[in-house]
Amino acid sequence: MTRIMLLLLASPMSVLLAGCPNGGGGGGGFEGTGSTSAILYTANDGSNTLSGFRIGAGGALTATTPASFSTGGTNTEWVAISPSDQFLYSSNQSSANVSAFTINATTGNLTPTAPATFSTGVGSSPRGITITPNGAFVYVANSASNTVAGFSIGSGGVLAATSPATVPTSGTLARGLAVSPNGQFLYIANSGTHNVSGFTIGANGVLTATSPATFSTGAGSPSPEGLAISPNGLFLYVANSGTNAIAVFSIGVGGVLTPTVPPTFSTGALGSSPQRLTISPNGSFLYVTNSGMNEVAAFTIGAGGLLTPTSPASFATGATSAPVGITINPDGQFLYVANSGSTSVSGFTIGAGGVLVPTTPATFSTAPQAPIGIATPGRP
C-alpha cells in the first residue's frame, strides 16, 4: 500500500480524535459501545461511597461486583477519572481530603491507593475536582478555605501536593472547576461571590491568577455551580443556579474571559436551578441538569459559542429525581445523569440534533446510595 493511501485512511481517524480533548480515552478493556472507556462511577454523598458500572450495548449499565466502594471519607459529592482509565479521585467535603483509587481494567473494581486519602487542608471543605487532559495533575476547589489545592499524579496514582499546595481563589464558596483542553488554563466557579476565578497552569502544575483574577457571571445573585469548556478550548460555560441561566465566555489570550453577546441563556422556568454541565466530545451540544425541574436542558452550540435550545428543549429524568451530576461517555454516544432524589442514574442516547432518547431501561439503580457526582474517563 502506498504512503499516500495510508495517509488518506488515517485522516478520518485524526479528525475524530481532534474533536475530543482527550482523544476518546483508552485502555478500559470493556466491550459494548465501541469505546475502550466503557466505565462509569457515581459519588454517593450520604453513604460516602462510589458506585461502579460498566457501559454495555445500547448504553445499558451493569453494576460492578461489588456494586459500591467506600471512599474512606465523608460527604463525597464529586468524582473524576483519569483520561487513561487507570485512576479515580473523589473529593470528600467534611473530611477535607481526596480519596484515590486504581481501576481494574477487567472488572472495573476500585482499589484504594496507599495511602488511600490526601489532605486538601484543615477545614477546606473540598468540592469540585478535575484532572488535567494529560493526566498529570489533580485540582480541587476548596469551598470553606476559598482556595484551590493542586496535586501531581505519581506512580500508582499516588498524589503529591504541588508547591505551594494551595492558591487563593479570590472568591468565596468555590464549587465546580474545569481545565482547558490544552491544559493551559483552570477556572473555578465561586458561588458566594458570583464570579469565576481564572488561573494559568505552569510548570509542575503551579497556578498563577489571570489578570484580572475573577470574572462576573452576571447581575443579581447567579450563584454559579458547574463549569464546562468547549472541546476547541474557545468557550467557557457556567451554570448559574440562582438565576436559572448559563453564562458564556470566550477564552482569550492569557485565559482572560469575555462575555458573549448575549452573555447568558435561560435554562427554562423559574426555579430550574441548573447545577452541572457537560459538552459532547464533538463540541456540538451542551447539556445541563435542572435539579429543580427534574430534567436535563439541551442546547446546540453555534457560531461564537452561542446556545440554541434543542427541540424539545428539555428531557425528563423522573419525578423527584433532583438530577445533579452529568457526563457523556468518551465516544459521545451516551449521556448519564446522577439522580440525587431517586437513588438512580438516568441513561440517554444522544440522537440527531442533540435530542436525548432514554436507554432501555431508562434508569439504573444505585440504591440505597443517593448519587451526586458522576464521571466517565477524562470526562466531567
| pLDDT tens column, 159-209 | 999 999 999 999 999 999 999 999 999 999 999 999 999 999 999 999 999
DSSP letters, 62-104, are EEEEEEEEE-SSSSEEEEEE-TTSSEEEEEETTTTEEEEEEE-
- pLDDT for 379: 78
- Indicate if the alpha-carbon torsion angle 90, 331, 247, 317 is positive or negative: negative
> How far is 15 from 90, CA to CA, in rounded Å?
32
> How far is 200 from 256, CA to CA, in rounded Å?
10
- Grouping H, G, I as helix, E, B as strand and the rest as coil, residue 117 is strand
C-alpha distances in Å from residue 188, one per residue of 89, 156, 159, 227, 323 = 18, 28, 21, 8, 21
C-alpha distances in Å from residue 356, one per residue of 165, 284, 324 = 41, 14, 17
Domains and CATH numbers, the chain: 28-375 (2.130.10.10)
- Indicate if the alpha-carbon torsion angle 43, 229, 103, 366 is positive or negative: positive
C-alpha distances in Å from residue 97, one per residue of 88, 134, 151, 164, 207 = 14, 23, 12, 17, 20
- In angstroms, how far is CA 131 from the centroid of its own chain? 10
Residues of the chain below pLDDT 50: 1-36
Q: What's the pTM value of the predicted model, to 2 decimals?
A: 0.90
Residues 242/221, Cβ–Cβ less than 8 Å: yes
> How far is 40 from 63, CA to CA, in rounded Å?
9
Which residue(s) pair with 134 in the sheet? none
- pLDDT for 15: 32
Which residues, at least 6 apart from 24, have a Cβ–Cβ distance to it below 8 Å?
Answer: 16, 17, 35, 37, 281, 330, 331
> How far is 138 from 310, CA to CA, in rounded Å?
34
Residues 244/225, Cβ–Cβ less than 8 Å: no
- pLDDT for 46: 86
> How far is 117 from 152, CA to CA, in rounded Å?
14
Residues 265/248, Cβ–Cβ less than 8 Å: yes
C-alpha distances in Å from residue 221, one per residue of 75, 192, 244, 264, 271 = 26, 9, 10, 13, 13
